[in-house]
Amino acid sequence: MIGLEIKDLHVQVEDVEILHGINLIVPAGEVHAIMGPNGTGKSTLAYTLMGHPKYQVTSGEVLLDGRSILALSPEARSHAGLFLAFQYPVAIPGVTVANFLRTAINAHRKAVDPNYHGIPIPEFRKIMLEKMKLLEMDQKMGGRYLNDGFSGGEKKRVEILQMAMLEPTMAVLDETDSGLDIDALRIVSEGINTLKSNRLGILVITHYQRMLNYLKPDIVHVMVDGKIVESGGPELALQLEEEGYRGVKA
């Protein structure tokens, strides 16, 4: 299958099991949402997919386009087409946004062609400015140090800018809506919508349904206590917004 397949995934953090058998399929071309209360394991799933060393898979399988990715390094997963927008992006003082993005693009292209010499700067700038415009970002952002002193909204825009430039085939967006005001939420959501294609699968992790008004997920999954307890259409998100998570307890 083209897309992401998670099979009976169990994950421990510091010897405590957090995810208790997650099953999830996100086919290419679809948008799926995971909603759930705080502390339920949503970010744990995102970090596990990316291969963070702190998150230990004790059993289960994760397939991307039919290939197991669990033995791959985070870099190799990224080269395979996986992308994670972090809930809490880290700052890297000394590395500009532009340099960071150019390095990431070159690493991707070199993984495909070891003889690749690097994207020419004019071509890179053209693409970056185009994508920044899409996200209504100030051009000056390119010269600032990555996430250093950025507002919540700026950090989330830079995450989506990375996604726009790296052109992943599976994007996991962990609470990209948190910390955004109404205008920023609309701009970022519309930016994500322009990236939608039948090659791209998107897994949106969110606490609130407001971003889903824009992203219009095909399927909404509810995670409670490290398990998917219910899946349904977009109406499930509206129901949760009204009734909370009490009705869907495991």
43 binds ligand ADP (CB under 6 A): yes
Contact 155, 135 (CB under 8 A): no
For ligand ADP, give the closer residue by CB, 54 or 216: 54
Measured between alpha carbons, how far is 110 from 126 in angstroms, rounded to an integer? Answer: 20
Tokens of 3: 């897309």
* Interacting partner of 38 out of ligand ADP, Mg ion, none (Cβ under 5 to 8 A depending on kind): ligand ADP
Residues between 34 and 93 with contacts to Mg ion, criterion CB under 5 A: 42-43, 87
To the nearest whole angstrom, how small is the minimum distance from the Cβ of residue 197 to ligand ADP?
Answer: 27
Contact 134, 164 (CB under 8 A): yes
Among 3, 41, 142, 201, binds ligand ADP (CB under 6 A): 41
Among 38, 71, 94, 242, binds ligand ADP (CB under 6 A): 38
Among 26, 44, 97, 209, binds ligand ADP (CB under 6 A): 44
Contact 78, 64 (CB under 8 A): no
* Interacting partner of 89 out of ligand ADP, Mg ion, none (Cβ under 5 to 8 A depending on kind): none
For Mg ion, give the closer residue by CB, 42 or 157: 42
CA atoms within 13 A on the CB side of 164: 24
54 binds ligand ADP (CB under 6 A): yes
The interaxial angle of helices 182-195 and 152-166, nearest 10 deg, is 10
The alpha carbon dihedral of 37, 41, 45, 51 has a sign of positive
Tokens of 10: 């169990």
Tokens of 172: 């996991």
Among 42, 102, 108, 155, binds ligand ADP (CB under 6 A): 42
Q: Which residues bind ligand ADP (CB under 6 A)?
A: 13-14, 18, 36, 38-44, 54
